Chains A and B, each alone.
Chain A
Amino acid sequence: MEKDNSGMRSHPGQYSFMQLTSLVILRLLIGWHFLYEGFAKVFNPSWSAAPFLLDSKGIFSKFFLAMAHNPHILSLVDISNELGLIAIGLGLMTGTLTRTASAFGILLIILYYCATPPFIGYTYLVPMEGSYMIVNKNIIEAWALVVLIIFPTGHIIGFDRLLFPNKKTSIKS
């Protein structure tokens, strides 16, 4: 890290206090959402991704329908979805492997988006809680994770600081 004579950090990777705080809060909020989505599914023994997958529309619908129709793949999808949501949530909240967690989070959300894209003329059995045309909350959350990858905070405020002690020296707050 370069420091100028005034003691101010002028490295381009430096965040101001407000920037860092808002990025960490964004990370916590998304992590919280993922974590609870995961636990809510675990708490509900009758939960399955099947109704969601069966309601799939669009060009990828065949892929998602095939998932729902194969009981082995479906149980795998259910378990990996639950565990994936919990792992990503914990990763984002504690700042552990933050960028990996964000990348997997984006992947999951993109899958949800592709399964039930909010395109014009598509209607779903479970009505959405808002009105969306192409852009929905999923895509916004995915993009927020992209922002968190580009502006990482786990190595400043998070376990990553302890896991990868060498990295913190490059950008330190």
Chain B
Amino acid sequence: MEVIRMSQDEHTENNQQATQEPEKKRYFDRRDILKGLATIPVVGFFFAKLYKSWLLVSMQKSQSERLLSDLGLNGAAPAVLPSGTLKKSGQLLRLGIIGCGSRGEYLLRAAGFAHPTWLESMKKAAIENKLDKRYEDFINQDDLNIVFNGICDVFDVRAESALETVRKGSNKGKENKTAKRYRRYKDMLESDDIDAVIVATPEHWHAQMAIDAAGAGKHL
């Protein structure tokens, strides 16, 4: 093992220390202070860099806050509206949905409409497992006072299923026999019995459909 080499000075100093051992012990010599604080420059360097990183973080934070306030989104909005805050205007909102695939089906359920087959399977699941609250949650969803007057999909299987869903799948047991199926979304947008549409198509269709819906005077 390599052994530390001491300079002549150190050697004599240590010899002196040995002779003055009893009093020297109580005090720190220069060497102790220097070696005791030897890593402080590194700590200082760390905190200098940390300050820089903190400045960057706070700058990014204020930027995003400014962006949110420019967009008028800085007010703390509740993530979920407490039930009861939604007042019913009494006026029925008539909707149409474009795209009845898995996302469309999910959005219909969120609006309070589920296919009878899905309802049946959820009912069964709830009986088998008491912790399964999907059926109960669906039934207890707020009545949004809406109706789907139109569904649009090019795929017949999806369209038929969605039509059945909006006709008799309401969680409040309401039936709607007037719902129509459209093959072209533009035909649905022209219809007078629809106030607003939900777009549940693949993404690349969203912009065009949104523009067309707005052009036809439909809410989105």
* Residue B38, interface by CB 8 Å: yes
CA distance A7 to B11 in the complex (A): 7
Q: Nearest chain B CB to A69's CB is how many angstroms away?
A: 15
Would you call A39 and B50 a contact (CB within 8 A)? yes
Indicate if B54 sits at the interface (CB-CB under 8 A): yes
Task: Give the residues in chain A near B54, CB-CB below 8 Å.
Answer: 43
Q: Are A162 and B33 in contact (CB under 8 A)?
A: yes
Q: Nearest chain-A residue to B3 (Cβ)?
A: A8
Interface of chain B, main secondary structure: helix
| Given A16-B4, A173-B4, A94 and B46 contact (CB-CB distance below 8 Å) | no
* B:180-211 near A, CB below 8 Å: none
CB contact under 8 A between A157 and B3, given known A7-B11, A165-B25, A168-B32: no
A161 touches B35 (CB 8 A): yes
**In the complex, how many residues of chain A place their beta carbon closer than 8 angstroms to a beta carbon of chain B?**
36
> At the interface with chain B, which of A28-36, A129-137, A141-149?
A28-36
- Give chain B nearest CB distance to A39 CB in angstroms: 6
- Look across to chain A and name the residue whose beta carbon is closest to the beta carbon of B61: A45
* Inter-subunit contact A157/B35 (CB<8 Å): yes
Say yes or no: A93 contacts B43, CB within 8 Å: yes
- Structural contact, B36 and A158, CB atoms closer than 8 A: yes
Measured between beta carbons, the chain B residues less than 8 angstroms from A43 are 53-54, 57
Select from chain A the residue with minimum beta-carbon distance to B57.
Answer: A43
**Residues from 1 to 58 in A contacting B, C-beta threshold 8 Å:** 3, 7-10, 14-20, 24, 28, 32, 35-36, 39, 43-44
A166 to chain B, nearest CB (A): 8
Decide: A161 near B3, CB < 8 A? Known: A28-B42, A39-B50, A93-B42.
Answer: no
Is there contact, CB below 8 Å, between B39 and A158?
Answer: yes
Contact B28 A162 (CB under 8 A): yes
B131 beta carbon closer than 8 Å to chain A: no
Q: Is there contact, CB below 8 Å, between A36 and B32?
A: no
For chain B, which range describes its interface: under 10, 10 to 19, 20 to 34, or 35 or more residues? 20 to 34
Q: Within 8 Å of chain A (Cβ to Cβ): is B6?
A: yes
Question: Cβ of B1 < 8 Å from any Cβ of A?
Answer: yes
Give the contacting residue for B4; candidates A9, A24, A35, A157; CB below 8 A.
Answer: A9
Interface status of B2 (Cβ within 8 A of chain A): yes
A16→B1 contact, CB < 8 A: yes
Chain B residues with CB below 8 A from A24, complex form: 38-39
Q: How far is the CA of A5 from the CA of B141 in the complex (A)?
A: 90
User: How far, in angstroms, from A17 to B6 measured CA to CA in the complex?
Assistant: 10
A106 contacts the other chain (CB 8 A):
no
Contacts of B39 in A (CB 8 A): 24, 28, 93-95, 157-158
Contact B46 A93 (CB under 8 A): yes
Bound-state Cα–Cα, A95 to B40, Å: 9
Taking CB as reference atom, which chain B residue is nearest A45? B61
Shortest A48–chain B CB gap in Å is 17
What is the CB-to-nearest-CB distance from B12 to chain A, in angstroms, rounded to a whole number?
A: 10
Interface residues of B in 27-79 (CB under 8 A from A): 28, 32-33, 35-40, 42-43, 46, 50, 53-54, 57
| Alpha-carbon gap, A160 to B32, bound state (A) | 10
Q: How far is the CA of A17 from the CA of B11 in the complex (A)?
A: 16
Which residues of chain B have C-beta atoms less than 8 A from A28's C-beta?
39, 42
Chain A residues within an 8 Å CB radius of B11: 7
Given A8-B5, A159-B36: 5 more A-B contacts, CB < 8 Å: A9-B4, A159-B37, A161-B35, A162-B28, A162-B33
Give residues in B with beta carbon < 8 Å to A: 1-6, 11, 14, 25, 28, 32-33, 35-40, 42-43, 46, 50, 53-54, 57
